[in-house]
Amino acid sequence: LNVLEWPSESPDLNPIEHLWRYLKIAVQRCSPSNLTELQRICREEWEKLPNYRCTKIVVSYPRRHKAVIAAKDASTMY
């Protein structure tokens, strides 16, 4: 059995974690008053997220990988 050293569930290497921030801000601005409205707003705001945000995260991954390796399982600036 080969064991790989890999940071389990590292938010630094999970792209969705970085998009949640933008979605959360957008949804809070809309102030949904019930669950149905919250779900609708989440879907609408998700669709509005600009492609450049995803691209920016993907482009930053080489730096993120290096930072995680250098941090040796500690947190990073990401």
Judge if pTM exceeds 0.85. Answer: no
- The reported pLDDT for the residue numbered 28 is 96
Query: How buried is 5 (Cβ within 10 angstroms: 0-12 exposed, 13-18 middle, 19+ buried)?
Result: exposed
Q: Residue 9 — pLDDT band, cuts 50, 70, 90? A: low
| 11-65 pLDDT, tens digit each | 777 888 889 989 999 999 999 999 999 999 999 999 999 999 999 988 988 998 8
User: Residue 7 pLDDT > 70, yes or no?
Assistant: no
- According to DSSP, residue 77 is labeled -
The pLDDT, as a whole number, for residue 43 is 97
